[in-house]
Amino acid sequence: MSKVYSDYFFDEPAFNTHDGGYVPLEVAAAPARPLAIPPLLKPDKETATDLYYTVTAQAGETQILPGAKTKTWGYNASVLGQTIVFPVGKHIHVHLQNHLKELTTFHWHGLAVTGPYVDGGCHAPVYPGETSDIDFTLDQPAATTWLHAHPCPSTAEQVWHGLATLALVTDDHINSLPLPHDYGVNDIPLVLQDRRFHENNQWDYRADYDPDGVQGPTALINGTVNPYFDVTTQKLRLRILDGANRREWRLHFSDDLPFTQIAGDSSLLAHPVTLTHLMMTCAERAEVIVDFKDYKEGDTVTLFSDDVPIVSFRIHVFAPDDTTLPADLLDVQAPLPDPAMPVRKVVMSGMDEAVAIDGKKFNMQRIDATQQMGQAQYWDVTNTNTMHGGMVHPFHVHGTQFLVVSRNGHAPYPNETGFKDTVGVNPGETVRLLVRFDLPGVYMYHCHIIEHEDGGMMAQIQVIDPAEPNKTYKLMDMDTLVHAFAEERGIKPEDLWMAGMDSYMKMGMKM
For residues 93-118, average pLDDT: 97
Q: Rounded CA gap, 278 and 313, in Å?
A: 18
pLDDT (tens digit per residue) in 423-439 = 999 999 999 999 999 99
Which amino acid belongs to residue 90? Answer: K
pTM: 0.97
Which pLDDT score is estimated for 76?
Answer: 98
For residues 36-41, average pLDDT: 98
Q: Where are the alpha helices (DSSP H) in 343-403?
A: none
For residues 7-25, average pLDDT: 94
For residues 321-335, average pLDDT: 96
Count of other CB atoms within 10 angstroms of residue 9 = 17
Tell me which residue of 374, 371, 372, 370 sits closest to 438, measured CA to CA.
374
Tell me which residue of 191, 165, 156, 227 sits closest to 455, measured CA to CA.
156
pLDDT (tens digit per residue) in 351-399 = 999 999 999 999 999 999 999 999 999 999 999 999 888 999 999 999 9
Whether the CB-CB separation of 301 and 216 falls below 8 Å is answered with: no
Radius of gyration of the chain (CA): 22
Taking phi over 0 as left and psi of -120 to 50 as alpha, with beta for the rest, 15 belongs to beta
When pLDDT is cut at 50, 70 and 90, the band that residue 511 belongs to is low
pLDDT (tens digit per residue) in 262-296 = 999 999 999 999 999 999 999 999 999 999 999 99
Q: Rounded CA gap, 343 and 435, in Å?
A: 11
Write down all domains in the chain, each with its CATH number in brackets.
Answer: 4-28+179-315 (2.60.40.420), 33-176 (2.60.40.420), 344-464 (2.60.40.420)
The answer to whether residue 136 scores a pLDDT higher than 90 is yes
Which pLDDT score is estimated for 1?
Answer: 57
Burial 61-84 (b: 16+ CB within 10 A, else e): ebebbeeeebbbbbbbbbbbbbbb
Pairing of strands 33-34, 227-231: parallel
Which pLDDT score is estimated for 317?
Answer: 97
For residues 59-81, average pLDDT: 98
Q: Percentage of the chain with pLDDT > 70?
A: 100
When pLDDT is cut at 50, 70 and 90, the band that residue 473 belongs to is very high
Mean per-residue pLDDT of the chain: 96
Instruction: Report the first-to-last Cα separation within the chain, whole angstroms.
Output: 55
Helix (H, G, I), strand (E, B), or coil: what is residue 495? helix
Count of other CB atoms within 10 angstroms of residue 177 = 15
When pLDDT is cut at 50, 70 and 90, the band that residue 498 belongs to is confident
More confident residue, 153 or 235: 235
Q: Rounded CA gap, 345 and 380, in Å?
A: 5
